[in-house]
Amino acid sequence: MYYLGSSIKFSDPREASSDGLIGIGGDLSPERLLLAYRMGIFPWFNSNEPILWWSPDPRYVLYPKNLKVSKSMKQVLKNSDFEVTVNRNFRQVITECSMAKRNGQSGTWITQSMIDAYTKLHELGFAKSVEVWLDNTLVGGLYGVDLGNGIFCGESMFTKVSNASKVGFITFVQNTNYKLIDCQLHTNHLERLGAEDISRDTFLTYLS
């Protein structure tokens, strides 16, 4: 495990602990965040913790060609009144993600410092938001990091209306040319959409 100081560097992600922890400390500057993502590392910590950096093995990913869309979701996509946009309101999306209630979590890991840091990445062109609207009201969305290498690193999503986040995610995947969607860690929701485990070494080869 590596204790980060003021210099912007990380140790080899293959040196992470068994649960994927690779570093503690540092900051959320754009330079450090971009280096982390380019090395297969991401921050994930609670508000009462220092910044924790992770590179889990296995890595949970979605190959867009393997996206699964159920018959019922195909009907929703065809007949719903949802409007899906990209980068219309990044800060609102990440803020809504920070307030979303999640099973097994008493708080949020999307702190105000995280919101500010990823909004800065968005302003620099490295972070994207997907918005889902219903009657001109934001009812779902997601955000993540795009390093321009064909990989989208998904961070979080939220929904206020049934199926809204699924519509946003599916529409985004189907209308972009990514070779891989990094989902980081397993969720049942993403498993139903076709995500799967790959080894960390395999994931790192995609980054390189």
Q: Where are the beta strands (DSSP E) in the chain?
A: 2-4, 21-25, 42-43, 52-54, 59-62, 83-86, 127-134, 137-146, 151-159, 180-184, 196-198
Mean pLDDT of all residues in 15-33: 97
Mean pLDDT of all residues in 55-61: 98
The CATH number of domain 60-207 is 3.40.630.70: yes
Q: How far apart are CA 125 and CA 134, in angstroms?
A: 26
Determine the Cα angle at 180 with ends 21 and 159, to 5°.
Answer: 80
Q: Which has the closest alpha carbon to 63: 156, 189, 178?
A: 178
Please check the confidence at residue 106 and state whether its pLDDT lies above 50: no
121, 33 Cβ separation under 8 angstroms: yes
Three-class DSSP category at 167 = helix
Q: Which has the closest alpha carbon to 59: 30, 31, 39?
A: 39
141, 132 Cβ separation under 8 angstroms: yes
Residue 43 pLDDT = 97
HSE-up of residue 102 (Cα within 13 Å, Cβ side)? 17
Domain ranges of the chain: 2-56, 60-207
pLDDT band at 47 (very low <50, low <70, confident <90, very high): confident
User: Residue 141 forms beta bridges with which residues?
Assistant: 131, 158
103 against 45, higher pLDDT: 45
Q: Which has the closest alpha carbon to 66: 207, 161, 198?
A: 198
Q: How far apart are CA 58 and CA 55, in angstroms?
A: 9
pTM: 0.93
How does pLDDT run across 133-190, given as a tens digit for each residue? 999 999 999 999 998 999 999 999 999 999 999 999 999 999 999 999 999 999 999 9
Tell me the backbone φ, ψ of residue 160, rounded to 5 degrees: -115, -15
pLDDT band at 55 (very low <50, low <70, confident <90, very high): very high
pLDDT band at 109 (very low <50, low <70, confident <90, very high): confident
For domain 2-56, give the CATH number.
Answer: 3.30.70.3550
What tokens appear for 129 in the block? 């938001």
- DSSP string of 186-198? --HHHHHTT-EEE
Q: Across all residues in the chain, what is the average pLDDT?
A: 94
